[in-house]
Amino acid sequence: MIVKEKFFPKDSAKEAIQKEQEKIGPLVEMEELFVNLDGGGFIRVEITLEGVNAKSKEKIQAKEVFLRDKVITVLGSKGFQDVQTDNREKLKKELLTELNKICNNEIKDVLFKNFVYQF
């Protein structure tokens, strides 16, 4: 028992999980979007936005129509190469930057819940 408590404190795992969950901001799920891509084809995407703090959720939801419009505009300007797996992180960063312009930096992360493209 002494060895177990010395190397594996009782509450350390629980505390680690709790701290990790506290770092996750509120999540706002956007409705599924279908967007025509530049050069042909389309993309179907479901996006979840992570807020920076508890108050962010309301602020993000209040601007949802503007956020959807910006996502459609950004994705609609992309071609085949831009939406492939290799460029997905770059696309997420671009969306985060553009969406935060609308929400005054209330968004911590852009998460793709579903991401399908066809040409």
Q: Which of 19, 45, 22, 15 is nearest to 32 (CA)?
A: 45
Torsion, Cα 6 12 14 18, to 10 degrees, reads 180
pLDDT in tens, 13-25: 667 666 666 689 9
Phi-psi map region of 41: left, alpha, beta (phi>0 left; psi -120 to 50 alpha):
left
pLDDT at residue 17, as a whole number: 62
| Domain 25-118 listed as CATH 3.30.479.30 | yes
Question: Which helix (H) or strand (E) segment is 5 a member of?
Answer: helix 2-7
Query: Where is average pLDDT lowest: 59-63, 64-68, 85-89?
Result: 85-89
What are the structural domain ranges in the chain? 25-118
Find out whether 45 and 84 touch, Cβ atoms under 8 Å: no
47 vs 12, 21, 50, CA distance in Å?
33, 20, 10
Q: What is the pLDDT of residues 28-53, one digit of tens each?
A: 999 999 999 999 999 999 999 999 99
